[in-house]
């Protein structure tokens, strides 16, 4: 029943995206402000400190917060203009119910009753697990905790998962396997203090711009930089060594670098003997990965692989950083493990200026993966399938253990199950899967099959357009709470203004809904501070131990790194000091990884590799940043980036319109011909919906462990669209998709 | 005490945080006084922020027929006085660095005035405060040369014309002065090491 109830144009007219360029009242009338609220950016996992300027109870601007130690006032353009999301004409101000023609206002009480009534009806008819909850990693720790508890105790479904499934899960699963804990091993200050930085699949300058500063501070001291990426990104341009890897070959390349490190005698045998297990098997595996034997497959001359190994061995201290470039793969976990193997085999971890981190992407990418809103996880990063963990949580929640449902489906699986009709009801918060999941046409069909879909959000995202009921929640600056940044540093978000209209803080919506599901006794919170108090106590003794963290301590210390197990504990900026890892025996684990090809290889029909990613001026599915005028002006439309050699073969010139065709769909885009990408690969940024959605081309292939999609490798062909009118060539198979709604 | 700006285009990542931050300065009314250029996007991701160099003897002021461009006691070359500027564009043509931008719709030249309202109050300019790569830095020459391996220079030769400026470019150690030629006899820029290594990719 969830097909659109109005045309896309009508929905855009009513709910946007429209562009905001100026503070309320315009720049000319901004004048002196009433207060400056020290808080953090609402976008990526760096969580830069920023002061929001408030006048007449409206957010009117931004001032750098130079005292905050992580970013010292530095910001990317998103951080500078993020304030324009407030006072936005698209802001959802009232609960909305679907009508035959668009949406109509509905009172809060009726809206909340409707959710409980429709979910309970579905659950009576089709079982408790016929409804699902999809949550987000931009939510505070408090909200993430509430969402997990709400799904399990109030709704009573096993199916709760979050959009971190598209972000951190491959790194998280690999870290857990190797180290027994899922957190950046080092504080970012260690990047500035190292001798060699190896960046693997991370477009640092565009996706985590503040990290650029740490890298340059190291280079100012003489550190060297190696970048592995199919695209010559801004941070790669000045690197000491650049390895333009063919998309999907990362584990083979990392195995080859380690092979060469072993040959050079760069292995730390003492560290391996004392602090690890599994090296013998790894050694047998990597014996087959001599640089010259993998060079053709990985697309890099053997001598450059050797050079990377030499630089790694020569550097006393190293920092290996990776991100979605190696994680968005059907072997995302294996790619990450192949990086960790290099770090462990050389003993380069757990020391000042020496270690390893994944660059977490989403605002609370770290914290939101610890508080129990993942399908396989309970608060404190506990395992929902571990009987002891279940018992502890049940006891502290005051419920029988049987009340906690078993492991549920991951976010992509929830969409697949919705498509199959196994899931019939959905509640989502801050997740826009229609733009962010692969194979967007399939996602849309899945949404259309739902019997009842309720979306909690601040703007009507493309996904929320399909909802039966829309509940206006809060923007980041309209509520209190904590987030945990890329380093594992827990930070405070401070409320700058109240939610407008009838919009409400998300935590209140969830608690009110819980009461309607008859679970009110477990949701009697007076506010975010009370939720934090429960979650930190519940995390005591778990891996992600927040029990010694308080709002006051965060204020005093400008953040607290977990684990922080008691009131007097200052927090733990650096993990694994002295070679002590989080597995029960204190040892880290090597995992031998055999390279295997991506799910979809290029062939004669689809001969070009497509890889997708981001641009600096947009954030993820764009629900916020596609409404901020100055950011949209930087990059109004997606494009397809291709090398001049490929362009010449296709007879395409810079600025030409081309058709990019995959087995899933077709997009018409403008070609950007640049010599800064591999000639066998094209790139499309994915922030846009509908006919501009890169995810109409990507495929539903997932990592078997982490269930992260393979966004970084699809096979496509590209057809030039003739400049003259009346071209009659064969239409692509998916031409129909072009005419359908965004 | 107003310090100087130091520009290291080599570090620039093209994010435009500087441009956006400049527009947020209370006296700029949403208008950025600086710009960011892609040098040749077809060939490279190299970008460069363009802020006023604040010449010691500014040609923009010298060629202004309306005497609209003033230099203050600190040597800051101010943006054109709105009541005087006639929008002729002489300053844009005369500036060797390509800084002043003529806003035809309001017949006014606007350019960076070193965030005068902030710097005169002891604050850093918005652009250099937010720059995430350190391509823009505000402080003293001693401070930046202590932090970095590059060296600051503020003398330039445009052909035979010598220009010295208040602001500095960061250049490799040993660069006393930066010589800018008209391009004749040059076959374009060299490739960076990474750009050469991309050329070696096996496809």
**pLDDT tens by residue, A129-138:** 999 999 999 9
Residue B47 lies in a domain: yes
- Chain A residues whose beta carbon lies within 8 Å of the beta carbon of residue B10: 238
Mean per-residue pLDDT over chain A, rounded = 96
> How many CB atoms sit inside 10 A of residue A232's CB?
25
Q: What is the pLDDT of residue B108?
A: 79
Q: What is the pLDDT of residues A670-729, one digit of tens each?
A: 999 999 999 999 999 999 999 999 999 999 999 999 999 999 999 999 999 976 444 444
- A274 pLDDT band, cuts 50/70/90, is very high
Give mean pLDDT, residues B77-92: 90
- A210 pLDDT band, cuts 50/70/90, is very high
CB A556 within 8 A of CB A487: no
The Cα–Cα gap between B108 and A148 comes to: 57
Q: Which CATH number fits the domain that encloses residue B62?
A: 3.30.70.20
Q: How far is A733 from chain B (nearest CA, A)?
A: 28
Interface A-B: count of C-beta contacts within 8 A = 159
- Chain B residues whose beta carbon lies within 8 Å of the beta carbon of residue A617: 15-16
Render A476-516 in DSSP notation, one character per residue: GGGS-EEEE-TTSEEEEE---SPPPTT---HHHHHHHHHHH
The Cα–Cα gap between B203 and B200 comes to: 9
**Would you say residue B120 has pLDDT above 50?**
yes
Residue B149 lies in a domain: yes
Q: What is the pTM of this model?
A: 0.96
Q: What is the phi/psi pair of residue A259, to 5°?
A: -55, -45
Q: What is the pLDDT of residue A64?
A: 97
- The ipTM value here is 0.95
Q: What is the pLDDT of residue A742?
A: 40
- A732 pLDDT band, cuts 50/70/90, is very low
Q: What is the pLDDT of residue A733?
A: 37
Q: Identify the helix (H) or strand (E) that includes residue A40.
A: strand A35-40
Angle between helices A302-314 and A250-263 (to 10 degrees): 60
Residue B192 lies in a domain: no
Q: What is the pLDDT of residue B103?
A: 79
Q: What is the pLDDT of residues A3-46, one digit of tens each?
A: 898 999 999 999 999 999 999 999 988 989 999 999 999 999 99
Domain residues for the domain of B158 are: 4-186
In this complex, do A675 and B195 lie within 8 Å of one another by their Cβ atoms? yes
- Chain A residues whose beta carbon lies within 8 Å of the beta carbon of residue B138: none
The Cα–Cα gap between A682 and A717 comes to: 10
Q: What is the pLDDT of residue A2?
A: 64
- B183 pLDDT band, cuts 50/70/90, is low
Residue B52 lies in a domain: yes
Q: What is the pLDDT of residue A726?
A: 42
Tell which residue, A405, A456, A559, has the closest CA to residue A47.
Answer: A559
Q: Which of A220, A236, A634 sits opposite B194 (nearest CB)?
A: A236
**Would you say residue A618 has pLDDT above 80?**
yes
Q: What is the pLDDT of residues A288-329, one digit of tens each?
A: 999 999 999 999 999 999 999 999 999 999 999 999 999 999
Residue B199 lies in a domain: no
Give mean pLDDT, residues A388-395: 98
> Could you give the number of structural domains in chain B?
1
Structural domains of chain A, ranges and CATH numbers in brackets: 19-85 (3.30.200.210), 96-165+364-572 (3.40.50.740), 169-358 (3.40.228.10), 608-739 (2.40.40.20)
Q: What is the pLDDT of residue A417?
A: 98
The Cα–Cα gap between B127 and A370 comes to: 36
Q: What is the pLDDT of residue B73?
A: 87
- B185 pLDDT band, cuts 50/70/90, is low
Coil/strand/helix, residue A707: coil
- Chain B residues whose beta carbon lies within 8 Å of the beta carbon of residue A680: 203
- B186 pLDDT band, cuts 50/70/90, is low
**Percent of chain A whose predicted confidence (pLDDT) is above 90:** 96
In this complex, do B45 and A75 lie within 8 Å of one another by their Cβ atoms? no
Q: What is the pLDDT of residues A230-241, one digit of tens each?
A: 999 999 999 999
Q: What is the pLDDT of residue B189?
A: 67
Residue B145 lies in a domain: yes
- Chain A residues whose beta carbon lies within 8 Å of the beta carbon of residue B24: 61-62, 80
Residue B178 lies in a domain: yes
Query: Which of B19, B23, B24, B191 to mutate: most A Cβ within 10 Å?
Result: B24
Coil/strand/helix, residue A428: strand
Q: What is the pLDDT of residue A228?
A: 98
Q: Identify the helix (H) or strand (E) that includes residue A717.
A: strand A714-720
Strand A489-493 relative to strand B178-180: parallel, antiparallel, unpaired? unpaired
**Would you say residue A736 has pLDDT above 50?**
no
Tell which residue, A226, A137, A154, has the closest CA to residue B194.
Answer: A226
Q: What is the pLDDT of residues B32-80, one digit of tens each?
A: 999 999 999 999 999 999 999 999 999 999 999 999 999 988 888 988 8
Q: What is the pLDDT of residue B58?
A: 95
Q: What is the pLDDT of residue A728?
A: 41
Tell me whether the omega of the peptide bond preceding residue A64 falls within 30 degrees of 0, making it cis: no
H helices present in A221-266, as ranges: 234-237, 250-263
B166's tokens: 């208040």
Residue B197 lies in a domain: no
Place of tokens 């910001």: A75
In this complex, do A205 and B197 lie within 8 Å of one another by their Cβ atoms? no
């Amino acid at each position: 029943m969830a097909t659109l109830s109005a045309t896309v144009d009508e929905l855009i007219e009513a709910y946007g995206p429209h562009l905001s360029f100026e503070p309320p009242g315009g720049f000319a009338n901004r004048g002196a402000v009433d207060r400056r609220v020290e808080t953090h950016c609402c976008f990526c996992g760096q969580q830069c400190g920023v002061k929001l300027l408030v006048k007449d109870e409206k957010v009117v601007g931004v001032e750098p917060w130079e005292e905050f130690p992580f970013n010292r006032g530095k910001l990317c353009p998103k951080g500078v203009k993020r304030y324009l999301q407030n006072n936005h004409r698209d802001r959802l101000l009232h609960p909305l119910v679907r009508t035959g023609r668009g949406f109509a206002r509905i009172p809060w009480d009726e809206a909340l009753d409707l959710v409980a009534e429709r979910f309970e009806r579905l659950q009576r008819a089709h079982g408790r697990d016929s409804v699902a909850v999809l949550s987000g990693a931009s939510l505070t720790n408090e909200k993430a905790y509430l969402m997990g508890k709400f799904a399990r105790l109030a709704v009573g479904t096993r199916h709760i998962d979050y959009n971190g499934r598209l972000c951190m899960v491959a790194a998280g699963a690999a870290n857990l396997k190797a180290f027994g804990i899922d957190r950046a091993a080092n504080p970012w200050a260690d990047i500035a203090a190292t001798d060699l930085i190896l960046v693997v699949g991370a477009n640092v300058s565009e996706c985590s711009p503040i990290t650029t500063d740490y890298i340059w501070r190291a280079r100012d001291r003489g550190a060297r930089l190696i970048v592995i990426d199919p695209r010559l990104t801004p941070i790669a341009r000045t690197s000491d060594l650049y390895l333009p890897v063919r998309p999907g070959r990362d584990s083979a390349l990392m195995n080859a670098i380690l092979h060469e490190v072993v040959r050079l005698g760069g292995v730390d045998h003492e560290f391996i003997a004392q602090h690890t297990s599994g090296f013998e098997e790894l050694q047998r595996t990597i014996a087959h990965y001599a640089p010259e034997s993998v060079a053709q497959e990985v697309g890099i001359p053997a001598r450059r692989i050797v050079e990377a190994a030499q630089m790694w061995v020569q550097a006393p201290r190293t920092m290996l950083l990776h991100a979605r470039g190696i994680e968005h793969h059907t072997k995302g976990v294996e790619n990450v493990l192949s990086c960790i193997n290099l770090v462990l085999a050389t003993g380069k971890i757990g020391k000042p200026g020496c270690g390893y981190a994944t660059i977490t992407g989403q605002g609370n990418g770290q914290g939101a993966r610890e508080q129990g809103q993942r399908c396989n996880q309970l608060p404190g990063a506990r395992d929902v399938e571990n009987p002891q963990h279940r018992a502890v949580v049940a006891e502290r929640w005051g419920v029988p253990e049987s009340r906690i449902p078993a492991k549920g489906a991951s976010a992509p699986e929830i969409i697949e199950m919705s498509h199959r009709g196994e899931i019939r009801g959905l509640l989502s918060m801050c997740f826009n899967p229609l733009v962010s999941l692969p194979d967007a046409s399939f996602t849309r069909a899945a949404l259309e099959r739902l019997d009842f879909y309720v979306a909690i959000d601040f703007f009507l995202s493309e996904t929320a357009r399909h909802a039966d009921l829309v509940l206006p929640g809060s923007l980041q600056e309209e509520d209190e709470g904590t987030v945990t940044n890329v380093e594992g540093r827990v930070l405070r978000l401070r409320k700058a203004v109240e939610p407008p209209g009838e919009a409400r803080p998300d935590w209140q919506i969830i608690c009110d809904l819980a009461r309607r599901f008859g679970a009110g006794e477990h949701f009697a919170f007076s506010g975010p501070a009370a939720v934090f108090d429960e979650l930190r106590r519940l995390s005591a003794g778990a891996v992600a131990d927040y029990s010694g963290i308080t709002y006051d301590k965060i204020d005093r210390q400008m953040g607290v790194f977990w684990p922080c197990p008691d009131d007097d504990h200052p927090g733990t900026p650096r993990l694994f000091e002295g070679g002590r890892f989080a597995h029960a025996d204190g040892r880290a684990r090597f995992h031998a990884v055999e390279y295997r090809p991506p799910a979809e290889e290029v062939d004669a029909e689809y001969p070009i590799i497509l890889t997708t990613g981001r641009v600096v001026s947009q954030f993820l599915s764009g629900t916020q940043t596609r409404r901020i005028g100055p950011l949209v002006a930087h990059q109004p439309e997606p494009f397809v980036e291709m090398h001049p050699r490929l362009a010449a073969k296709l007879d395409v010139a810079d600025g030409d319109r081309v058709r990019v065709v995959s087995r899933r769909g077709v997009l018409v885009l403008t070609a950007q011909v640049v010599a800064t990408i591999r000639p066998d690969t094209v790139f499309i940024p994915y922030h846009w919906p509908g006919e501009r959605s890169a995810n109409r081309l990507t495929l539903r292939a997932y990592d078997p462990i982490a269930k992260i999609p393979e966004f970084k490798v699809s096979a496509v062909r590209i057809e030039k669209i003739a400049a003259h009118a009346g071209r009659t060539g064969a239409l692509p198979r998916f031409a129909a998709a072009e005419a359908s709604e965004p | 005490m107003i310090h100087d700006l130091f520009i290291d285009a080599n570090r620039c990542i093209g994010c435009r945080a500087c441009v956006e931050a400049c527009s947020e300065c209370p006296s700029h009314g949403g208008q950025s006084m600086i710009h960011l250029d892609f040098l040749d996007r077809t060939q490279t991701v190299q970008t460069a922020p363009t802020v006023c160099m604040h010449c010691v003897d500014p040609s923009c002021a010298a060629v202004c027929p309306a005497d609209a461009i003033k230099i203050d006691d600190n040597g800051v070359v101010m943006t054109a006085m709105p009541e005087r500027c006639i929008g002729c564009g002489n300053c844009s043509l005369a500036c060797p660095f390509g800084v002043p931008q003529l806003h035809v719709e309001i017949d006014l030249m606007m350019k960076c005035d070193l965030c005068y309202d902030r710097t005169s109050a002891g604050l850093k300019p918005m652009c250099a405060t937010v720059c995430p790569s350190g391509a823009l830095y505000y402080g003293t020459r001693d401070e930046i040369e202590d932090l970095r391996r590059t060296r600051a220079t503020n003398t330039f030769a445009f052909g035979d014309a010598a220009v010295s400026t208040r602001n500095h470019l960061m250049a490799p150690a040993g660069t006393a002065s930066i010589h800018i030629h008209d391009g004749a006899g040059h076959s374009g820029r060299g490739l960076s090491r990474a750009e050469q290594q991309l050329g070696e990719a096996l496809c």
